[in-house]
């Protein structure tokens, strides 16, 4: 038995971790019932909406502020988690085991069930202190973030239920960090994943044909991988840059071919591309089209994921929510770094509405294990994060 076993917040967190909201074919109903119980224990109103389909609920817990006419604060987290390879885990991925060092092992312990429960724990502490906040707080739990949010936040922000919340600012996820500092995301690289379908002359493998799909594949591969090399070099040349400050290009799939002695009429390449925030989206797309023409034509660009242009959340005194956030972290003496998120979170859909959003998780001194085997968070880090959110939420709601 560990010293954390009798801690109420740790036990609530572990109960949440044991709900296997894992892809594919997630059943969110046990999660919804758990959150309804949490709402009741906190005396918060709760509503559930289904902006995309009946399998994908959005759960909203609301703490009404003293001045509900003010725009509200949204504390967002996602309920779903990525799949697991159980044989590579030393603890059951949905057992929420805690070892003698206080490490809580479970899928979602970092990404991002910890955050959702820390929000609620912070509210519990604020209520216990009889704090009264000016702005209404909506704690939202959304589905399907790990598969692109098509049935989650993307649909939710276009719903009547979202519009009724009167959101003025949103807090969402960032990531663990192995040093004694915490990243705060104020923007995200834009996804531009695509498949290049290269068509050309087919024939016998013994004949050197012209205009074959393989030549086009080689040309496009060389162009994109050379650009990848340039972006990689930027990071090496400037230690001030972070991963999110450059464009990421990765070849993720190659398809084509019938058998060894047949030149196919079609081959394809799939790239996961994340555009840096200073890249002109349209100009980049035109560059790809230009390379396709140089390769001999006959190349179809098939978009897979293409983010819309999104605003960047201001991190200066023109943004009162940033001021409130910054004042909180300064008072708590936290080391916070401003980052462009290298991946993608649900905050991008909030920023597309020109609403400010920050990604933040109080998880310093923690190895980054999101989507990895043996994902864990240390119990003391988790509990300290509750106190951090308590101050931040109070500041934001009184901004």
Could you tell me if residue 327 is inside a domain?
no
Q: How confident is the model at residue 308 (pLDDT cuts 50, 70, 90)?
A: confident
Please state the φ and ψ torsions of residue 322, each to the nearest 5 degrees.
-65, -40
Q: Are residues 155 and 220 in the same domain?
A: no
Strand partners, 190: 275
171 three-state secondary structure: strand
Q: Are residues 208 and 168 in the same domain?
A: no
pLDDT in tens, 252-271: 999 999 999 999 999 999 99
pLDDT in tens, 328-344: 999 999 999 999 999 88
Q: Are residues 112 and 238 in the same domain?
A: no
Enclosing domain of residue 287: 192-306
Q: Are residues 217 and 286 in the same domain?
A: yes
Kindly report the pTM of this predicted structure: 0.92
Q: Are residues 287 and 165 in the same domain?
A: no
152 three-state secondary structure: coil
Q: 1 pLDDT exceeds 70?
A: no
Tally the domains of the chain.
2
Q: Are residues 267 and 382 in the same domain?
A: no
Active-site residues, by number, are 80, 145
Domain boundary among 283, 306, 329: 306
Could you tell me if residue 152 is inside a domain?
yes
pLDDT in tens, 181-218: 999 999 999 999 999 999 999 999 999 999 999 999 99
- Listed in sequence order, the DSSP H helices in the chain are 8-17, 29-42, 113-128, 153-156, 160-165, 213-237, 281-294, 320-331, 347-351, 379-397
Judge whether 392 and 169 are in contact, CB under 8 Å.
no
């Amino acid at each position: 038995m560990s010293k954390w076993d009798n801690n109420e917040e740790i036990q609530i967190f572990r109960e949440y971790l044991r709900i296997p909201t894992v892809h594919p074919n997630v059943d969110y109903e046990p999660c919804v019932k758990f959150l309804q119980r949490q709402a009741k224990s906190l005396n918060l109103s709760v509503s559930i909406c289904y902006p995309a389909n009946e399998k994908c609920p959005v759960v909203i817990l609301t703490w009404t502020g003293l001045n509900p006419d003010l725009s509200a604060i949204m504390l967002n987290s996602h309920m779903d988690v990525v799949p697991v390879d159980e044989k590579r885990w030393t603890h059951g991925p949905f057992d929420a085991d805690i070892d003698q060092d206080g490490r809580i092992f479970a899928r979602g312990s970092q990404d991002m069930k910890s955050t959702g429960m820390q929000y609620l724990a912070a509210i519990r502490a604020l209520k216990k202190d009889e704090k009264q906040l000016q702005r209404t707080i909506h704690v939202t739990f959304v589905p399907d973030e790990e598969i692109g949010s098509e049935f989650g936040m993307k649909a939710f922000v276009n719903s009547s239920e979202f519009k009724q919340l009167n959101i003025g600012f949103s807090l969402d996820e960032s990531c663990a960090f192995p040093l004694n500092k915490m990243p705060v995301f104020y923007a995200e690289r834009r996804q531009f994943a695509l498949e290049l379908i290269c068509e050309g002359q087919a024939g016998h493998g013994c004949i050197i044909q012209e205009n074959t799909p393989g030549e086009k594949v080689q040309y496009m591969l060389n162009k994109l991988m050379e650009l990848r090399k340039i972006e990689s070099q930027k990071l090496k040349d400037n230690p001030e840059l972070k991963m999110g400050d450059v464009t990421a290009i990765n070849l993720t799939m190659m398809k084509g071919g019938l058998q060894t002695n047949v030149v196919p009429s079609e081959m394809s390449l799939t790239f996961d591309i994340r555009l840096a925030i200073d890249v002109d989206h349209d100009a980049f797309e035109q560059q790809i089209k230009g390379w396709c023409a140089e390769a001999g034509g006959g190349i179809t660009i098939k978009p897979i994921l293409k983010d819309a242009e999104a605003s960047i959340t201001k991190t200066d005194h023109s943004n009162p929510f940033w001021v409130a956030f910054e004042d909180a972290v300064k008072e708590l003496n936290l080391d916070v770094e401003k980052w462009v998120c290298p991946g993608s979170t649900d905050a991008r859909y909030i920023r597309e509405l020109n609403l400010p959003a920050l990604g933040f998780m109080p998880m310093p001194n923690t190895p980054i294990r999101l989507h990895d085997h043996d994902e864990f968070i240390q119990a003391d880090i988790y509990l300290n994060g509750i106190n951090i959110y308590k101050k931040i939420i109070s500041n934001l709601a009184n901004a």
